[in-house]
Amino acid sequence: MRKLFPIFFLILFFSCQNETSVSTPQYFKIVGETMGTTYHMTYEDSLGRNFKPEVDSILVDINQDVSTYIEDSHISKFNKSKNDDVEQALSSYQYFNEVFKASKEIYKKTDGYFDPTVMPLVNYWGFGYKPKKPVNEIDSLKVDSLKQLIGFTKIESKCDGTTLGMLCFYKKQNSKIELDFSAIAKGYAVDIVAKHFQEKGIKNYLVEIGGEMRTQGKNAKGKLWTTAINTPKISAGLNEYEAIVKLNNKAIATSGNYRNFHEVNGEWYGHEINPKTGFPEKSNLLSVSVLADDCMSADAYATAMMVMGLEKSKALAERLDNLDAFLIFANERGELETYYTSGFEGNVLK
């Protein structure tokens, strides 16, 4: 009760003095489920609008384009199409087209470490849309055969503008080639919802889907939004973290293997599949967090860095413009160490 008294006294004082009332920011929260995970969004709106129905509608449309868990989604139809089929996508497949285009660019910039055609391998290792089960006996010959389907350059694409919108054509070199946008889709969805908020005149917001996040402006306390980077240990609790990061009109995404993995005969392997080797990546790099202007890029590059390993990730993070990274890795003694790019370190609260 003592914590409430000063607030009550101030309200009473100002009302008795007939002073102009001081308006407080009206922040609203909406939560829900999408893409096999949850979302949490907070925004300031003086009009008191409930954006949940609109947000849910947007997320349903995105899933219908890029989710492999929906049998009649556009990406599922693409994956099932034969090699002599030419896939057409009009403006109604805008989300698929945009994610494909971005994936192609990131594939090139990461030297193929980010590769959505890794889907057959993801399914083989038990992390895809097929029944999730661990591989009890690894078949190296099977892995090698699936690797022949991997490579984003094995999909021909061409887009042209028409009066109907953007018309895109896609053709696979092999009918068994499949796409998996799970390493970029959540970040992309965050960006689309953020764009919707901006179009509605929202200047202060936080959009989070499955841990991927984008912010604008400030929170209800008038401060920059912040987020925690969890300790990358299987035994770590959700409230154990390595750093608190402030987000100044930025997006952030974190990738790691310590939450999604299979254990077989005392050995564990994670869901980050290296398209170069065909195997789940094992290295001393345990967690990657990426800061970027858009969440789609942060999401994709965080995944790429996890399979690139520590040194290559450092080099990539330093080379790319408008992108910063925070890497958590194990040293020779098994102790956790961290590496920041200079731009990221300035956003870590000591």
Q: What are the pLDDT digits (tens) for 285-309?
A: 889 999 999 999 999 999 999 999 9
Q: What is the pLDDT of residue 140?
A: 86
Q: Where residue 144 falls among pLDDT bands split at 50, 70, 90? A: very high
| CA 85 to chain centroid | 31
Domain ranges of the chain: 27-349
Average pLDDT over residues 207-229: 96
- In CATH, the architecture of 27-349 is Roll (3.10)
Q: Rounded to an integer, what distance in angstroms lies between the CA atom of residue 36 and that of residue 56?
A: 14
* 3-state DSSP of the chain: CCCCHHHHHHHHHHHHCCCCCCCCCCEEEEEEEECCEEEEEEEECCCCCCCHHHHHHHHHHHHHHHCCCCCCCHHHHHHHCCCCCCEEECHHHHHHHHHHHHHHHHHHHCCCCCCHHHHHHHHHCCCCCCCCCCCCCCCHHHHHHHHCCCCHHHEEEEEEEECCEEEEEEEECCCCCCCCCCCCHHHHHHHHHHHHHHHCCCCCEEEEECCEEEEECECCCCCEEEEEEECCCCCCCCCCEEEEEEECCCEEEEEECCCCEEEECCEEEECCECCCCCCECCCCEEEEEEEECCHHHHHHHHHHHHHHCHHHHHHHHHHCCCEEEEEEEECCCCCEEEEECHHHHCCEEC
* pLDDT of 255 over the 70 cut: yes
Q: What is the pLDDT of residue 228?
A: 92
Q: What is the pLDDT of residue 110?
A: 97
Q: What is the pLDDT of residue 1?
A: 34
Q: What are the pLDDT digits (tens) for 73-123?
A: 999 999 998 866 655 554 558 899 999 999 999 999 999 999 999 999 998
* pLDDT of 11 over the 70 cut: no
Closest residue by Cα to residue 216 from 229, 230, 200, 231: 200
Q: What are the pLDDT digits (tens) for 65-78?
A: 999 999 999 999 99
